[in-house]
Structure 1
Amino acid sequence: MEDLKVLGEFYFSQLLNKPIRDAEGRRIGRLLDLAIRWDGVSPHVTGIRYTKGIHDLIPIKLVSSWDQNDMRLNITFDPRLTCPLQEDETFIGKWLLDKQIIDLEGSRLVRVNDISLSWVSHEQQNYMVLLAVDIGVRGLFRRLGVEFLLSRIENKFVGSQYIKPLENRTSALQLTREKEQLRQLHPADIADLIEDMDYKQRADFLNVLDSQQAIDALAEMELDTQVEVITQMDEERASDILEEMPPDEAADILSELSSEKSEELLSLMESDDAEDVRELMQYEENTAGSLMTTEYIGLPIWITAEQAINELRRLAPEAETIYYLYVVDEQETLEGVLSLRELIIASPETTLKDLMHTKIVKISPYDDHQKVADLIHKYGLLAVPVVNSEDQILGIITVDDVLELLMPDRPRVEIYSTLIARRRQAKGGHGE
């Protein structure tokens, strides 16, 4: 930018409480805070708060200079030159200092100990822009006036483009940018952030997330945190999210709530979704039924491979896994199983009856968890079907649910490494 002159870089703590003098040297007050506006490029200071009120701000364009002693205006001060705080502005000290924010680059919660600002001049006007927040201990010592004790320790900054305050007091433009950045975070990172927040912070943050982000993040949390998060939401949004979750996960959460609360949420859900969840909630905790999901791919025995692939395209988005395809008759009786690979390489006109394996590893919904784990381990399966006494398929249990049950203290990345290893070991038939 032509004629851009950097007048200096400094910290908010170095400005706070400094005297403000007009062009005649008269003291008109102290700097109590700085009003800021986010314009989509960089957050810039718009005014100076020098009284306890919010309606009398000194426009930043009236500042001519600043040093370690005071801030100087370029005019003889007149209260009629002040302006009120606008709707798209906020005070950075009140909003950021000593507050937790999300470091969008590091995917973590951090505490703001100071704020780095730059003072620039362009076309004979002065501007202050927010460069970064200081999250290091050196920033805290600076505010205490003893930064020299940590002079050998590097500052720790988060650039303004990577910060997401937990309190939403910025413009709609800035909030849109922050939401887009949040979409780039892995659900596991969002889950970690939520678990580190206190009760109020969680509620505010959840309002920023769209439903799919909330669902994906919930899937990465421990059950007790899932229950807390759902409890914090209003009933309408909680029921919408439970509707979109895999029914086994929704059932786990609702089973931890009071019967009155769970029934209230179920009554707000679509009837089909609620019925699936109610069915799963009837099984006792240690049974196979409590682990299964009703989201599986069931295909008619008489259709061809080509027809099955077309049907798979329609059903796959709602399924827990598509590695195994279960072949059923008109009564949902399990007749056979085949792998996705077998379907893809089959001749288009071949029927599923000719492709499927009729020797099926299956389990009762009343078998215990250990039996499920033993079967999955013995046959190297990624999922096992759950059937009733008439061999009608009720649902499936996927290996990730079993691994999380058996390894509750293992990091999720280790669990998925085990899953990948199992997929590589699985050979042929429905073990592929």
Structure 2
Amino acid sequence: MSDVKVLGEFFFSQLSNKPIWDVQGRCIGRLHDLAMRWDNLSPLVTGIRYAKKIPALIPIQWVESWDAEGLHLNTTFDQQQTCPLHDDETFIGKWLLDKQIIDLEGSRIVRVNDISLSWVSRDNHQFVVLVAVDIGVRGLFRRLGIEFLLKSIRNNFVGCQYIKPLENRTSSLQLTREKEQLRQLHPADIADLIEEMDYKQRANFLESLDSQQTIDALSEMELDTQVEMISQMDEERASDILEEMPADEAADILSVLSAEKSEELLRLMESDDAEDVRELMQYEEETAGSLMTTEYIGLPVWLTADQAINELRRLAPEAETIYYLYVIDEQETLEGVLSLRELIIAAPHTPLSELMHTKIVKISPFVDHEKVAEIIHKYGLLAVPVVNDQDQVLGIITVDDVLELLMPDRPRAEIHSSLIARRRLRAKGGHSE
């Protein structure tokens, strides 16, 4: 491994606007910005912008030292030997200073008040690297020249490996690393980050997310933010996202969009997915039908426990919940219900008809939200089936779908946990675990 030695550390604010002196003692300009290339985990400084109206750069290799008087070059300045800003480079100050970035480690949006750089030596070569950004008030005071007032306050740094600028101007290597770090964030954290961004920042950030991350994050957002996100996407991507979302959530979003926009997105969706969403959109806003999802586990009544488990493996990835398994006949008429636990502990060859409970709590799609909440609360259910007049299953309403109706100010996870605990204490109505 190469031996890396730190020769010096400094802040961008300490160099900004400092004079630049060549080896002959001539002042050839001032440091207006630093060019950077993200070639490794630590971004490398490649050049110095020495004049506002001249795009050329002084190569960083020309710098011999710096002190209170400015930067000192190790050669005679020759404008003919300066270099341009390349496509894979960007200006540190213009790109980061005073800009909002994502702190990937803290899952928050912060503002850059200063930039920490190091002068390092490795294999007999010297480099200037971006080490971290200062997001604390001390960085702001440093730029104002009054840092001495806050010497008792610690600096607040975010390492360069944990920053994601909201303006997409990084190398493919950096983008790959950022995407890997984003995959490790919880969808709720991603949703919170998006909520803090302005319209343009949200559009740029969405490009960093893959489809599943976008879907998971959308599920954590308020409806108005979901609508805004879908509206910002091009129609092809928006339709793909809506296809993969739970049908009830997609229906909620499309119901708010204009009729023309909604119809265009439905047209681009796969026909089966679009049909499910259209069915849900027909219900009035305050009815059970508007809360339900069509993604549930329906198992044929003639299956054995072992066959049902194999079928469950196939169906589970698309289901909203697998706590309850609904037993249906050829016409999708609801015959019974059993819990996942009951299925797993049953003897392999036991028919579902012997395992299922036939006393079922169920509701009509036309009852109001208050009735739905009352039934789920009364029986301690995690989900309730919605059926038509012929007892055919139209969908289910999960406890998550009524959380905000019951307790809008409490965290979703907290309410869900309490209802699960309550459910275990009060197994009733043929839904015992």
TM-score between the two structures when normalised by the length of structure 1: 0.97
Give the fraction of aligned pairs with identical amino acids, expressed as a percent.
80
Amino acid at match of 2:354: D
Aligned partners of 1:382 and 1:422 also within 8 Å: no
Q: Does 1:91 align with 2:91?
A: yes
CA distance in 1, matches of 2:8, 2:357: 75
**Quick check: 1:183 aligned with 2:174?**
no
In the alignment, residue 210 of structure 2 is paired with which amino acid? D
State the Cα deviation string for residues 194-217 of structure 1 (Å, max 9, x = none). 000000000000011000000000
Aligned to 2:116: 116
Shift of 1:426: 4.7
2:267 and 2:274 in contact (8 A); partners too: yes
Q: Do the aligned residues in 2 keep the contact of 1:382 with 1:431 (CA within 8 Å)?
A: no
Q: Which moved more, 1:115-124 or 1:60-69?
A: 115-124
Return the letter of the residue paired with 1:284: E
Instruction: Report the CA distance between 1:371 and its aligned residue.
Output: 1.1
Q: Secondary structure, in 3 states, of the residue corresponding to 2:152? A: coil
Q: Distance in 1 between matches of 2:238 and 2:400?
A: 25
Bigger mean CA offset, 251-260 vs 286-295: 251-260
SS in structure 1 of the partner of residue 72 of structure 2: strand
Greater mean deviation of Cα atoms: 74-83 or 173-182: 74-83
Once the two structures are superposed, residues 141-183 of structure 1 have per-residue CA deviations (whole angstroms, 9 ceiling, x without a partner) of 1111111222221111101111011111111001000000000
Partner of 2:207: helix, strand, or coil? helix
Q: Deviations over 1:74-112 (max 9, x none)?
A: 011111221111222111101100000000010000000
C-alpha deviations, 1:368-396, integer Å up to 9, x for none? 11111111111111100000001000000
Give the number of equivalent residue pairs.
432
Distance 1:7 1:259, change over 3 A: same
For the pair 1:249 / 2:249, whether they are aligned, the reply is yes
Deviations 1:296-340 (A, max 9, x none): 000111111111111000000000001111111111110111111
- Cα contact 1:381–1:431 (8 A) shared by 2: no
What TM-score comes out, normalization by structure 2 length?
A: 0.97
Q: Specify the code of the residue in structure 2 equivalent to 1:167.
A: E
Letter in 2 for 1:292: M
- Distance between the aligned counterparts of 2:120 and 2:191, measured in 1? 39
CA contact (8 A) 1:381 1:426 kept: no
Shift, 1:113, TM fit: 0.4
CA distance in 2 between partners of 1:404 and 1:422 (Å): 18
Please tell me the residue identity of whatever aligns with 2:159: G
Q: Is the 8 Å Cα contact of residues 61 and 125 (structure 1) preserved in structure 2? A: no
Q: Measure how far apart 1:346 and its partner are.
A: 1.0
> Over the residues paired in the alignment, what is the CA RMSD in angstroms?
1.4
Match of 2:56 in 1: 56
Q: Does 1:226 align with 2:226?
A: yes
1:163 correspondence with 2:163 = yes
Query: 5 Å matches for 1:11-90?
Result: 11-52=11-52, 55-90=55-90
Moved more, 308-317 or 79-88: 79-88
Is the Cα contact below 8 Å between 1:37 and 1:90 reproduced in 2? yes
The answer to whether the 8 A contact 2:361-2:384 is kept is: yes
Secondary structure in 2 matching 1:193? helix
Tell me, yes or no, if the aligned pair for 1:104 and 1:163 is still in contact at 8 Å.
yes
Query: Do the aligned residues in 2 keep the contact of 1:100 with 1:111 (CA within 8 Å)?
Result: yes
Query: Which residue identity does 2:33 align to in structure 1?
Result: D
- Equivalent residues of 1:54, 1:85 under 8 A apart: no
| Residues 362 and 141 (structure 1), Cα distance of their counterparts in 2 relative to 1, 3 Å cut | same
1:377 aligned partner: 377
Distance 1:172 1:426 in 2: 54
**2:422 match: secondary structure:** helix
Shifted more, 96-105 versus 120-129: the winner is 120-129
The separation in 2 between residues aligned to 1:424 and 1:356, in whole angstroms, is: 18
2:201 aligned partner: 201
Q: Secondary structure at the match of 2:359?
A: coil
Residues 108-141 of structure 1: CA deviation (Å, up to 9, x unaligned): 0000000011112344433111111000111111
Is contact 1:54–1:84 with CA below 8 Å preserved after alignment?
A: no
- Classify the secondary structure of the residue corresponding to 1:209: coil
- 2:299 is paired with a residue whose SS is strand
Q: Deviations over 1:211-236 (max 9, x none)?
A: 00000000001111111111111111
The residue number in structure 1 matching 2:6 is 6
- Residue in 2 that maps onto 1:238: 238
State whether residues 400 and 412 of structure 2, in contact with CA within 8 Å, keep that contact through their aligned partners in structure 1.
Answer: no
